Amino acid sequence: MKKIINTPNAPAPIGPYNQAILVNGTLYTSGQIAINPKTNELILNSITDETTQVLENLKAILAAAEMTFEDVVKTSIFISDMNTFFQINEVYGDYFNSDYAPARETVEVANLPKFVNIEISLIAIKATI
């Protein structure tokens, strides 16, 4: 059975989708961009601030599903400029350490929603022992 995950601590969906879906212990998130959920404003002052906001939004969704970044098994990163990869990776490393870093892909794209510079989605699994 699937469970809809939505939290006020991440941006509200702007279309016919949810922030995340939890199915049999696996969480699938929608792509997150750098919207501050408290102000509904885009954070675009720098790629590091933008990346931080995206990851904070994902952190809030994970928390709503009773998960953390340690539960993440896959991330998909879409960026508008591959030249920003180093700065993005620096911030990303603050949220994932090498002991539990997930599989990942990073793809440069022509455009993203609201013409932001980065969008990240993830898959997380709550392991039961």
Per-residue confidence in pLDDT tens, the chain, 129 aa: 899 999 999 999 989 999 999 999 999 999 999 999 999 999 999 999 999 999 999 999 999 999 999 999 999 999 999 999 999 999 999 999 888 899 999 999 999 999 999 999 999 998 764
Place of tokens 């180093």: 86
Can you give the CATH number for the domain in which 27 is found? 3.30.1330.40
Q: What is the pTM of this model?
A: 0.96
Write out the residue range of the structural domain in which residue 49 sits.
2-125
Q: State the Cα–Cα distance between residues 8 and 115, nearest whole angstrom.
A: 23
- The two counts, helices (H) then strands (E), for the chain are 2, 8
Q: What is the DSSP letter of 12?
A: P
Under 8 Å between Cβ of 28 and 84: no
Number of domains comprising the chain: 1
